[in-house]
C-alpha cells in the first residue's frame, strides 16, 4: 500500500522533522508498504534524497509558474527541492478559497514538472439522499474531464470525506462504506480511462486513519492512506504502519 503522511503544519522544528524522517526510514526498512512524507515546504530539500527509502512530497503547489508571483512556490522549485509527489485540492486548501480552476492549474503545473499529483476530493457532509455522491463526482469531473488521456493515468486520487478529517479512529469512515466509495471513485474514473485501468486506479483514503482504524480500512480495496495527525508524531505513525496487514 501507499502510506502517505501529510504533516500539515504540525511540524515546526527542523529537529522534529529530522526525527520523523529517521523514524519513517526505519519503518520503510521493515515493511512492504511504500512510505512518502509531506513536510512543510521549507523542509523538503532538508529531507529529500534520491537514495532514500522514503519519498517526499509537497502539501501544495502554486498555480503559476516562473515570474512575478511573490510568495508562490512553483512546481519547478518543488521538483528541484526533491519532491516527487504533490497534494492538490486538499480540503484545508479548498476551505481557504481554492476552486476547481486553480486546482486544475496546479495539477497541470505538477504534471508539467514531473511531479505526481495527489488529487484530494471528498464530500463535506453526508445526507440521506446521496447528494454527496454528486459532490464527489463533480470534484473528480472538474479535473479529469480537462486532462489529456495520458495525464489522467498519472493522477492519484485521495478520497477524504471532510467530515472524517482530524478526528479519532472511531470517527473514520466505516470500512464497508469506504469499500463502496472506492468502487464509486473508480466507476467515475472509468469515464476517463479504460474501465479495466480505472478498476485498478490508485485511490487512497484519508480521514482519521490511526492505529485503531487502519487495519479495517486497509481491507476495503483502497490503494493506501493519506494520514494527517497520526503521521506527524513518530510513535503514532509507527503504530499505525505496524497495524497494517
The footprint of ligand PGA (CB under 6 A) covers 6, 160, 165-166, 206-209, 226-230
Strand ranges (E), the chain: 2-6, 34-38, 55-58, 85-88, 116-121, 156-159, 203-206, 224-227
Q: Tell me whether residue 149 or residue 166 sits nearer to ligand PGA (CB atom).
A: 166
Taking the alpha carbons at both ends of the chain, their separation in whole angstroms is 10
Q: Tell me whether residue 39 or residue 193 sits nearer to ligand PGA (CB atom).
A: 39
CB of 217 to ligand PGA, least distance (A): 11
Considering 90, 92, 123, 139, which one is annotated as catalytic?
Answer: 90
Instruction: Dump the DSSP string for 109-168.
Output: HHHHTT-EEEEEE--SS--TT-HHHHHHHHHHHHHHTTS-HHHHTTPEEEE--GGGTTS-
**209-227 in b/e burial notation, b at 16+ Cβ within 10 A?**
bbbbbbebbbebbbbbbbb
Q: Tell me whether residue 178 or residue 198 sits nearer to ligand PGA (CB atom).
A: 178
CB of 228 to ligand PGA, least distance (A): 2
Residue 229 grid coordinates: 495527525
135 is annotated as an active-site residue:
no
Q: Tell me whether residue 193 or residue 227 sits nearer to ligand PGA (CB atom).
A: 227
CB of 233 to ligand PGA, least distance (A): 11
Nearest to 160 by CA among 191, 182, 141: 182
Considering 92, 123, 160, 211, which one is annotated as catalytic?
Answer: 160
What residue number has its CB nearest to ligand PGA?
228
CB of 120 to ligand PGA, least distance (A): 7
12 is annotated as an active-site residue:
no
Query: Please, which residues have CB within 8 angstroms of residue 140's CB and are 6 or more apart in sequence?
Result: 119, 121, 157, 185, 188, 189
CB of 50 to ligand PGA, least distance (A): 26
Q: Tell me whether residue 43 or residue 192 sits nearer to ligand PGA (CB atom).
A: 43
**Active centre residues (catalytic):** 90, 160
Amino acid at each position: 500500500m501507499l502510506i502517505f503522511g501529510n504533516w500539515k503544519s504540525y511540524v515546526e522544528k527542523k529537529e522534529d522533522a529530522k526525527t520523523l524522517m529517521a523514524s519513517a526510514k526505519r519503518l520503510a526498512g521493515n515493511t512492504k508498504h511504500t512510505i512518502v512524507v509531506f513536510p512543510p515546504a521549507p523542509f523538503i530539500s532538508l529531507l529529500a534524497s534520491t537514495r532514500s527509502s522514503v519519498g517526499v512530497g509537497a502539501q501544495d503547489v502554486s498555480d503559476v509558474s516562473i515570474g512575478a508571483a511573490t510568495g508562490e512556490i512553483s512546481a519547478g522549485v518543488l521538483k528541484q527541492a526533491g519532491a516527487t509527489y504533490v497534494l492538490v485540492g486538499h480540503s484545508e486548501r479548498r476551505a481557504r478559497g481554492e476552486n476547481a480552476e486553480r486546482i486544475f492549474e496546479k495539477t497541470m503545473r505538477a504534471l508539467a514538472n514531473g511531479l505526481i499529483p495527489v488529487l484530494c476530493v471528498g464530500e463535506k457532509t453526508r445526507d440521506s439522499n446521496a447528494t454527496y455522491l454528486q459532490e464527489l463526482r463533480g470534484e473528480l469531473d472538474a479535473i479529469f474531464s480537462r486532462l489529456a488521456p495520458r495525464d489522467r493515468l498519472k493522477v492519484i486520487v485521495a478520497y477524504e470525506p471532510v467530515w472524517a478529517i482530524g478526528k479519532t479512529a472511531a470517527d473514520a469512515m466505516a470500512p464497508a462504506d469506504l469499500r463502496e466509495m472506492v468502487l464509486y471513485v473508480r466507476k467515475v474514473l472509468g469515464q476517463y480511462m479504460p474501465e479495466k485501468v480505472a478498476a485498478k486506479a490508485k485511490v487512497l483514503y484519508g480521514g482519521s486513519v490511526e492505529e485503531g482504524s487502519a487495519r479495517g480500512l486497509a481491507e476495503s480495496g483502497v490503494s493506501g492512506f493519506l494520514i494527517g495527525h497520526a503521521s506527524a508524531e513518530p510513535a503514532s505513525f509507527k503504530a499505525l504502519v505496524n497495524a497494517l496487514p
